[in-house]
Amino acid sequence: MDVLWMMPLLLVPLLLWTSSTFVFYFKKCFYVAWMMCLGLIGIPLSILKSGGRDIENMRVIRFLVRHVKYFLGLRFEVSGLEHLQTAGPYVIISNHQSSLDVLGLMEILPDRCTMVAKKELVYAGTVGIICWLGGIVFINRQKTHDAKTVMVGAAKTMLDDQIRLWVFPEGTRNQRGDLLPFKKGAFHLAIQAQVPIIPIVFSSYSNFYLRKEKQFKSGTITLKILPKIETKGMTSDDVSPLCDKSYDLMRSAFLDISAPVTQSNGPTRH
């Protein structure tokens, strides 16, 4: 009987060593479960810190999440961090490849910054609750009118409360080796509030994370923070040119930083 109990303990490390598919599902399940546990810890901490929903709770979330990269064998190389030292409100835009983007986001998240996310996230158990407590702005992607109304309110909140907002202008996850066309909500938001846009580019995950092929290895993610783009004096007529300019800059940076990198067999530390 003792031997039977030991079999699963021996089988797991064997599969981790020999099966890339098992590693993929093991890491994915661990990531989701661990984030749920961190949410459970973060909920009372956030309530004690701020008494409820408050953007300052993003400090709690950032503190709790930043170590997760080590468990998944990921490290981040960041350039252009000085561009986030811009005073006052601004809109951050970045490409969106998977839920792993959260780890990069928390790596460089400036103070008084929260996210714009899909409404469905609020129902994701403890993660949804902690996101709500962190002041994340939820939009219904299926109802354009509702999303626009939320963005109008977000612009006012940015100025009244002096906050920053992180938006994924592609609107959905994308692992096609390029950027999807940008939706214009973030650019309407920035122009309405007359605040700068700061583009941030995540390098391609394809050298370590392939969802269809069920591969999830150790790897390095490059984060490139580009100089701010001013919107003062712009009007709604400038939304499309601003969107196109931002897209071209980010696509160029994405292709530049997404060259293959050497992989390691185990977790790498940063």
- Residue 40 and residue 217: Cα distance in Å, rounded? 28
Given a cut of 80, whether residue 103 has pLDDT beyond it is: yes
The model's confidence at residue 146, banded by pLDDT at 50, 70 and 90, is: low
Q: Which two tokens stand for residue 38?
A: 């961190």
The model's confidence at residue 144, banded by pLDDT at 50, 70 and 90, is: low
Q: Which two tokens stand for residue 129?
A: 């609750």
Write the CATH number of the domain with boundaries 2-257: 3.40.1130
Given a cut of 70, whether residue 262 has pLDDT beyond it is: no
Q: Return the domain boundaries, the chain.
A: 2-257
Q: Which two tokens stand for residue 253?
A: 């940076």
Task: Read off the pLDDT of each residue in 93-97 and give the average, rounded to a whole number.
Answer: 96
Query: Which candidate, 70, 72, 68, 163, places its Cα nearest to that of 115?
Result: 163
Q: What is the pLDDT of residues 22-54, one digit of tens each?
A: 899 999 999 999 999 999 999 999 999 999 999
The model's confidence at residue 263, banded by pLDDT at 50, 70 and 90, is: very low
- Residue 264 and residue 198: Cα distance in Å, rounded? 32
Question: In the Cβ-directed half-sphere of 159, how many Cα atoms lie within 13 Å?
Answer: 13
Q: What is the pLDDT of residues 203-251, one digit of tens each?
A: 999 999 999 899 999 999 999 999 999 999 999 999 999 999 999 999 9
Task: Read off the pLDDT of each residue in 173-200 and give the average, rounded to a whole number.
Answer: 93
What's the helix, strand, coil split of the chain in %, to 5?
A: 50, 15, 35
The answer to whether the CB of 69 falls within 8 A of the CB of 95 is no
Who wins on pLDDT, 37 or 9?
37
Residue 33 backbone phi and psi in degrees, to 5: -65, -40
Residue 135, sorted as left (phi over 0), alpha (psi -120 to 50) or beta, turns out to be: left
One-letter identity of residue 193: A
The answer to whether the CB of 113 falls within 8 A of the CB of 164 is yes
Residue 49: what pLDDT?
Answer: 93
The strand order across the sheet containing 74-79 reads 74-79, 219-225, 197-202, 91-94, 164-167, 113-118, 137-139
Angle subtended at Cα 191 by Cα 190 and Cα 194, rounded to the nearest 5 degrees? 85
Classified as helix, coil or strand, 165 is: strand
- Within a 10 A sphere around the Cβ of 141, how many other Cβ atoms? 15
- Residue 108 and residue 190: Cα distance in Å, rounded? 20
Question: In the Cβ-directed half-sphere of 254, how many Cα atoms lie within 13 Å?
Answer: 24
Q: What is the pTM of this model?
A: 0.88
Residue 173: what pLDDT?
Answer: 83
- Within a 10 A sphere around the Cβ of 83, how many other Cβ atoms? 18
Enumerate the β-bridge partners of residue 92. Answer: 166, 198
Q: What is the pLDDT of residues 46-89, one digit of tens each?
A: 999 999 999 999 999 999 999 999 999 999 999 999 999 999 99
Distance of CA 146 to the CA centre of its chain: 23
